[in-house]
Structure 1
Amino acid sequence: MNRDFTAAYWQQRYQQNQTGWDVGGITQPLRDYFDQLDNKAARILIPGSGNAYEAEYLFYNGFNNVYVADVAEAPLTNFASRVPAFPKSHLLHQNFFELQEQYDLIIEQTFFCALDPQLRPQYAEKSAQLLKPGGKLMGLLFDTTFSNPGPPFGGDRNEYRKYFEPYFNFLHFEKAYNSIPPREGRELFILLQVKEESKTILK
């Protein structure tokens, strides 16, 4: 990984409030998806969670198996202060690529775009490894390019497809219709289900 994107790099960004990706709450596409989920016992992972507004929303709506992971300690500390009832054992101060547990659902929200783009194939593979059979990867990806050097790093749906196709069936992979105004027309809403055959290969 590029040395600039280490845990120390992200920790410093939070400590200095250089968090332009943080919109201060859950975004509408994720809220709408969560509102139609009925399995409150599902094991849900939010990697690169940052301040984890998604986890807060899920937790307060009765989902008790939500886990958040981040390489920076600061956002996890922020979250623990903001949501004191959230189980401390579900706050994972870990690198996504070193996680080992299994989940029913992985939520993608500004983590993929923060990674060194060279890690995108590994992200897709690791997501498939972490999902139970039939598990899903859901969230938002930027469908745009950025004029400034990343992070965030942009891309397009054709690029992303080649990363996910070996491991996932595409249930939904279209431009989000309900993005927040600053991201309108620049996000893909994705819902991918891990292929049964990929679970055998990835064991």
Structure 2
Amino acid sequence: MATSPLPPIQLKVQQTVNADDPTTWDILWKQNVTPWDAGEIQPSLIEVIENSGIEFPRLGRALVPGCGTGYDVLYLANALGVQAFGMDISETAIEAATRYRDASSLPGHKNANFIKDDFFRYKVVDDERFDLIVDHTFFCAIHPSQRVTWGKKMAELIKPGGFLITNAYPMLPEVETGPPYYLRPDHYEIPLKGTFDKIYDKVPEKSSPSHQDKERILVWKRKSE
């Protein structure tokens, strides 16, 4: 697999983040080195929620792991009326998300909640399982060796009949190191095999400039237990 020169800011991310110590993401947040932060909700998520024809839950609970500043969380709270939870390992990110929520004039902002926690260690009881999880740039941020564990955790956190939205990004085969780690849509197949059915797979009609020609949206439905 070929490599290409990395932009300085991406090189900084790779030099700072330790896959064995996810708390190192907080270093980048404290230094304001956040190239993944687009400053707004991704058009591809709006498209799948509003135009896919899938009947996502209009009540219930939703989760966004690796939520960062929380754009997706507030969007879900307002678009679907769910209790939306954003989770991040970085305390600085959670502080930024809380400020973003508190400054929002959107009517559903009170339904947006933020949790500082490690996704892989997070525990829920049955009645706290989620109806929807959105993985935007979390899967590409974890080391590929963690992907099977990621799938098991998704199966644990999502209730039967619930949904998982995954954004396959960045689809760049020339990138062999990370984060972000190169991925293809089929990289989700093994982690989710046996517990989820794929019900939607599409290149978005509109992407943000940073995601153009580099993303594909897939939606999965949790099987019965």
Normalized against structure 2, the TM-score is what?
0.78
State the shift of 1:172 in Å: 1.1
SS in 2 for 1:55: helix
DSSP 3-state at the match of 2:44: helix
- The structure-2 alpha-carbon separation of the partners of 1:38 and 1:145, relative to structure 1 and needing over 3 Å to count, comes to closer
Give the counterpart of 1:94 among 89, 110, 117. 117
Give the secondary-structure state (helix, strand or coil) at the position aligned to 1:13: helix
1:77 aligns with 2:95: yes
User: 1:135 is paired with a residue of what secondary structure?
Assistant: strand
Change (3 A) 1:77 1:33: same
Unaligned runs of 5+ in 1: none
Q: Please tell me whether the aligned partners of residues 146 and 153 of structure 1 are also in contact (alpha carbons under 8 angstroms).
A: no
Give 2:4's aligned residue: none
Change (3 A) 1:146 1:68: farther
8 A Cα contact 1:80 1:86, kept in partner: no
Tell me the equivalent position of 1:55.
73
Distance 1:60 1:135, change over 3 A: closer
Q: Is the CA contact (8 Å cut-off) linking 2:147 and 2:191 kept in structure 1?
A: yes
Secondary structure, counterpart of 2:194 in structure 1: coil
- Tell me the secondary structure at the aligned position of residue 10 of structure 1: helix
Tell me if 1:172 matches 2:200.
yes
**In 1: Cα distance, 2:165 partner to 2:214 partner:** 17
Aligned to 1:32: 47
Q: Say whether the 8 Å CA contact 2:47–2:204 is kept in structure 1.
A: no
1:16 is the counterpart of 2:43: no
Q: What code does the residue aligned with 2:27 have?
A: Q
Q: Give the deviation of 1:62 after TM superposition.
A: 6.2
Shift of 1:30: 0.7
Partner of 1:133: 160
TM-score of the two chains, using structure 1 as the length reference: 0.86
Deviation (angstroms), 1:70: 0.8
Q: Is the 8 A contact 2:74 2:84 kept in 1?
A: no
Query: 1:165 Cα shift?
Result: 2.2
Deviates more, 1:142-151 or 1:26-35: 142-151
Q: Which residue of 2 aligns with 1:4?
A: 18
* Alignment-derived partner of residue 121 in structure 1: 148
One-letter amino acid matched to 2:49: F
Q: Would you identify which runs of 4 or more consecutive aligned residues in structure 1 move more than 6 Å?
A: none
**Tell me, which stretches of 5 or more residues in structure 2 are unaligned?**
1-16, 103-108
- CA separation of 1:122 and 1:185: change in aligned 2, threshold 3 A: same
Q: CA offset at residue 38 of structure 1?
A: 6.6
Q: Residues 38, 161 of structure 1: CA spacing in aligned structure 2 closer, same or farther, 3 A cutoff?
A: closer
Deviates most, 166-175 or 22-31 = 166-175
Instruction: Give the whole-Å Cα distance in 1 for the aligned partners of 2:167 and 2:98.
Output: 25
In 2, Cα distance between the equivalents of 1:112 and 1:38? 21
Contact 1:40 1:63 in 2 (8 A): yes
RMSD of aligned alpha carbons: 2.1
Percent identity over the alignment is 25
Question: Match of 1:11, as an amino acid?
Answer: D
1:190 equivalenced with 2:218 (yes/no): yes
| Count of residues in correspondence between the two structures | 194
Mapped contact 1:49–1:69 kept (Cα < 8 A): yes
